[in-house]
Structure 1
Amino acid sequence: MIPARLAFIALETTGANPLRDRITRIDVLEAEGDRVATWSTLVNPQRSIPEFIQQVNGIRNETVVDAPPFAQVAAELADRLHGRLLIARHARFNYGFVKSEFQRLGKSFRADVLCTVRLSRKLFPAHQKHKLDSLMIRHDLATGDRCRALTDVHRLWQFWRLLQRDCGEEALAEAVRQQLERPSLPPHLDPALLDDLPESPGVYLFYGDNDALLYVGKSVNLRQRVRAHFASDLRDYKEMRLSQQVHRMHWHETVGELGALLLESRLVKECQPIHNRRLRRSSDLCTWQWVQVVPGECRLTLVSGQAADFVRSEGLFGLFANRREATETLREMAAAHQLCPIILGLERPARPGRPCFAHQVGQCRGACVGKEALGVHSARMLSALTKLKLAAWPYPGAIGIVERDELREVEEVHVVNGWRHLGSARSETGIQQILLGQSGQGRFDRDTYRLLAAHLGKGRVRVRLLSER
C-alpha cells in the first residue's frame, strides 16, 4: 500500500556535509491524490556560501542576506512534512540536512524517506543512469531551469505519476515497500537508533544483558550493515540468537575502511566479545625463523611472537596461532616438496645414519642419509617457504597512513611502527601524542600485520614518514 500523503522535497545547500554545511533553499511539493500544493523559501545559512557552490546553484550570498534563518521556517517546514512520505533524489542527502538543521535547534525530526534513484534502479534495471536529468530525458518529461530547486520537485512529481501510470500500482507499491521495509529489531532496542546510524565507515558494538559486549562488527556503511543484521534474523539462526540478546548498540565512525578494520581488530582483541571468534588475540603466536648453521646449510627454528624481531628480520616465515598449527603447516610443506622431516626437525632419526620414514616410502630425496646435498635441500626448503615469507618493516621509523573522505572533508592518520598500529588521530596534536607514547603502545598482531601489509603492498594509500628509529 502506497502512502497517500506525499512530500517531494529538494534543497540547495552550502556544501555536501550536513554536519558542517547549511541549507540555503527549501522547496516542497505536497501531494495527496490529485491535490498538489507547493512551498518554497530561501534560507539564510548564516555563513558565507563558497564561490563554486554559488556558480553551481545560482544562489549567491547577496541572494540570501535578507532571507530568514532556518529557525524561523522550521515550524512551517515541520508542519508541511508531518505525516508524509518524503520523496527526493538522493533522499538520504536531503533527509540528513533537514534532520541536522532540526537537531541544531534541539528538536527531533524523523520521517520515512524514498529515494527516486533507488526506485528507478529497482523498476528500470536495464538502464544505466538514474539521476534526475537522465530520468527527464529518458521519460520525455518537462524540463526547465536545472538550478532552480522548485523545478526539481515538479520533475519528481512528474516522474512519480509516470511510475503510477506505466509500472502499475502493484509494482510501484512493492518497490516502495522494499525500500521502506524496516528490519525486525530486537525488543530492547529503540527503533530511533536506526535513523541515527550514519551511512559512513565505522565499527558497531552490540551489548546484551548487564551491558556485556556481545559483538563487534565493521562496515563501510554502518546503517546498511546494522540493518542487514536484523533483517536476516529470521533466516539465520546465529543472527536470530544475537538479535534476541541485544539490549544496547553503540558505534564509532571512521574516515575510511582501513580505520574501521583496524578499530574492529583492536576492540575484538581488547574486549573479547562473546560472539566474535575470528579476530581473537592469540597468546601463542609464533613464526618460523631461517637460521644459517654453517655456510650453505640452514635450519628452521620456531620462535614466539614476542621474541621475533618483526621489524628488522628478513628470515621469518608464516604467522601461526600456536605451535601445533606451525608444525602442521611445515609437515604439509615437507610432503608437498619432498623435504626431509629429520632435517626440518619434525622427526627424530631412529639411529645415526638411518633414513627418515618419508625417504623409505619415496617421499624424501635423501638429505638425511647424504643422497641429497644439504645445500641443495636448504635451497629447495627456502623456495618452498617463499609464499610464507613475512615482510620486514620497510620504513626507518613510524609512518602515518592517511585516509581522507573528500565528501565529509575529514582526514584520519593511522600511526604505525614496526607493523604495530599505535593509534589513529585527526589532528597533528593527536599524532604527536601517539608518537610520544609509542614505546609502551601496541604489540605485534597477525591480523594487523596482514591488514597493513595488504594496504601498503597495493600502493593505494598515502604514507607520511613521522619519525626515525
Structure 2
Amino acid sequence: MQSRITSVGLLVKPDPADRFTYPDHIDRGSLDALPPKPGIYIFRDEQERPLYIGKSVNIRARVLSHLRTPEEARMLQASRHVEFRRTAGEIGALLLESRLIKEMQPLHNKKLRRTREMCTLRLAPDVNAMPEIVYARDHDFAVTADLYGLFATRKAALERLRMIVESERLCPAMCGLESAVRGRACFARQIARCLGACIGEEPIEDHYLRLRAALEEMRIVVWPYAGPMGIVEECDGWRQTHVIDRWFYLGSVDHVKGAAPVRQPARRTFDVDTYKILVRPMMRGELHIEPLEPATLRGRKPGRA
C-alpha cells in the first residue's frame, strides 16, 4: 500500500492494520470476541491443548500482535482458536498467567513452565557468621529473615557471592569461598584484593557490616502481614480482589452476588513468581491492599497453619 495525499494536502502513511488478514485456520469468532481489556489469553490446538498463555492490559491488541509475528509461526500454525479470561487489572493478569502456566504446562511457555526449587544466601545476625546456601524445601522464604537473593542453582548463588566478594574487596575465606587457616592470609589478601579480615588487619565487625551492606539490595522481603491480604483492582465498575498469603497467590474474588470464595490449599509455600510480581509495587505503596472479609476464604479453620 502506498502513501496518499488527502484533500487538504496531508501525507497519510499506510496503516499496517489495513492490510492485515486473519489466519484462516484460527477460528475467527474467537478472535473477534477478544476484548481490549486486561486479562490472559490461551492459544489452543485442535485437541484443546494449551499451546501458549500470555497476559496483557489489552488482550485483543496483544493477541493480534502475535498473529503478525513471523518468529511465532510454529505456535500459530498449530493454533485453532484463542480463549481469554478477563481480570480487573494488570496485577491480576500477571498472577493468573503465572498460575495457569504452572498448572497447564503449555508447550511454548518455557520460561515459567516449571516450578523451580530455589535457593538463597543466608547470613545470620552474628559477626562471626559466614554466608550459607539454604533451600526452599528446608526454609519458608516468606517468613525467614536474613535471606538474600533468589537462585535456581547452588552454582548461581556461589557465583553471585564471589562477584560481591571481589567487587567489595571482602575476604573469600571469611565468606566461606575458600578454606580458612587461622593466622594465614587468604590468596586475595596476598594480591591486595582483600582488606585483611583473615589476619586481623580489618576488624571482623567491619568486615561483617560491609558484607551485609553489599547483600542488602538482594534481601528477600519477609511477608509483611500476619495473614492473607487482598490486592484490589477495578475496571469499568468491576471490582476484583486477589488474595495473597506469604507471597503465594490463593486466587481472586469477584465482588458480585453469588461469587464463590477462595478455597485455601492444604499447604502453600513461597512462590518465586508471585514474589517477583508483587514485591516492588507493594514496597513502593503502589498497590491497593485491604484486609479480607471473613467470607472471602473457605476450606480451613481459622488460625490453622
Instruction: Report the TM-score range of the alignment, normalised by the length of the smaller protein.
Output: 0.7 to 0.9
**CA distance in 2: counterparts of 1:459 and 1:292, whole angstroms:** 28
What does residue 418 of structure 1 align with?
A: 246
State the TM-score, normalizing by the size of structure 2.
Answer: 0.86
Could you list the per-position Cα deviations for residues 300-341 of structure 1 after superposition, in whole angstroms to 9, with x for gaps in the alignment?
221112322334333111111121111111111111101112
What does residue 401 of structure 1 align with?
A: 231
What does residue 158 of structure 2 align with?
A: 327
Q: Return closer, same or farther for 1:380/1:183 CA change in 2, 3 Å cut-off.
A: farther
Report the CA distance between 1:397 and its aligned residue.
1.5
Report the CA distance between 1:432 and its aligned residue.
7.9
Q: Return closer, same or farther for 1:209/1:363 CA change in 2, 3 Å cut-off.
A: farther
**CA distance in 2: counterparts of 1:430 and 1:343, whole angstroms:** 60
Q: State whether structure 2 residue 252 is matched by structure 1 residue 433.
A: no
What does residue 219 of structure 1 align with?
A: 56
Q: Which is worse superposed, 194-203 or 437-446?
A: 437-446
Q: State whether structure 2 residue 282 is matched by structure 1 residue 456.
A: yes
SS of the residue corresponding to residue 277 of structure 2 reads: helix
What does residue 298 of structure 2 align with?
A: none
What does residue 8 of structure 2 align with?
A: 166
Cα pair 1:400 1:413 within 8 Å, conserved = yes
Cα pair 2:123 2:129 within 8 Å, conserved = yes
More helix by share: 1
**CA distance in 2: counterparts of 1:221 and 1:441, whole angstroms:** 34
SS of the residue corresponding to residue 194 of structure 1 reads: helix
Q: 1:465 aligns with which of 288, 291, 294?
A: 291
- Structure 1: which 5+ runs fail to align? 2-121, 124-162
Q: 1:366 aligns with which of 196, 213, 216?
A: 196
What does residue 284 of structure 1 align with?
A: 117
**CA distance in 2: counterparts of 1:457 and 1:431, whole angstroms:** 30
What does residue 182 of structure 1 align with?
A: 20
Q: Return closer, same or farther for 1:367/1:392 CA change in 2, 3 Å cut-off.
A: same
What does residue 269 of structure 2 align with?
A: 443
**CA distance in 1: counterparts of 2:136 and 2:99, whole angstroms:** 17
Q: State whether structure 2 residue 132 is matched by structure 1 residue 304.
A: no
Could you list the per-position Cα deviations for residues 412-433 of structure 1 after superposition, in whole angstroms to 9, with x for gaps in the alignment?
1000111111111103888883
What does residue 232 of structure 1 align with?
A: 69
Cα pair 1:219 1:257 within 8 Å, conserved = yes
What is the number of residues matched between the two proteins?
Answer: 294
**After superposition, where does 1:97-176 map in structure 2 within 5 Å?**
165-167=7-9, 175=14
User: Partner amino acid for 1:371?
Assistant: E
What does residue 339 of structure 1 align with?
A: 170
**CA distance in 2: counterparts of 1:164 and 1:371, whole angstroms:** 79
Q: Which is worse superposed, 195-204 or 313-322?
A: 313-322
Cα pair 2:140 2:270 within 8 Å, conserved = no
Report the CA distance between 1:220 and its aligned residue.
0.5
**CA distance in 2: counterparts of 1:208 and 1:439, whole angstroms:** 31
**CA distance in 2: counterparts of 1:291 and 1:247, whole angstroms:** 54
Q: State whether structure 2 residue 86 is matched by structure 1 residue 257.
A: no
- Structure 2: which 5+ runs fail to align? 295-301
SS of the residue corresponding to residue 275 of structure 1 reads: coil
Q: Return closer, same or farther for 1:267/1:460 CA change in 2, 3 Å cut-off.
A: same
**CA distance in 1: counterparts of 2:212 and 2:183, whole angstroms:** 24
**CA distance in 2: counterparts of 1:276 and 1:179, whole angstroms:** 27
**CA distance in 2: counterparts of 1:366 and 1:440, whole angstroms:** 51
What does residue 107 of structure 2 align with?
A: 274
Q: Return closer, same or farther for 1:431/1:378 CA change in 2, 3 Å cut-off.
A: farther
SS of the residue corresponding to residue 131 of structure 2 reads: strand
Cα pair 1:183 1:227 within 8 Å, conserved = no
**After superposition, where does 1:53-72 map in structure 2 within 5 Å?**
none
**CA distance in 2: counterparts of 1:342 and 1:428, whole angstroms:** 60
Report the CA distance between 1:272 and its aligned residue.
2.4
Aligned-pair identity (%): 37
Q: State whether structure 2 residue 34 is matched by structure 1 residue 192.
A: no
User: Partner amino acid for 2:225?
Assistant: Y
Could you list the per-position Cα deviations for residues 74-121 of structure 1 after superposition, in whole angstroms to 9, with x for gaps in the alignment?
xxxxxxxxxxxxxxxxxxxxxxxxxxxxxxxxxxxxxxxxxxxxxxxx
SS of the residue corresponding to residue 298 of structure 1 reads: coil
State the TM-score, normalizing by the size of structure 1.
Answer: 0.57
Q: RCO greater where, 1 or 2, for CA within 8 Å and sep 6 or more?
A: 2
Cα pair 2:55 2:94 within 8 Å, conserved = yes
SS of the residue corresponding to residue 453 of structure 1 reads: helix
Over the residues paired in the alignment, what is the CA RMSD in angstroms? Answer: 2.8
Report the CA distance between 1:282 and its aligned residue.
4.4
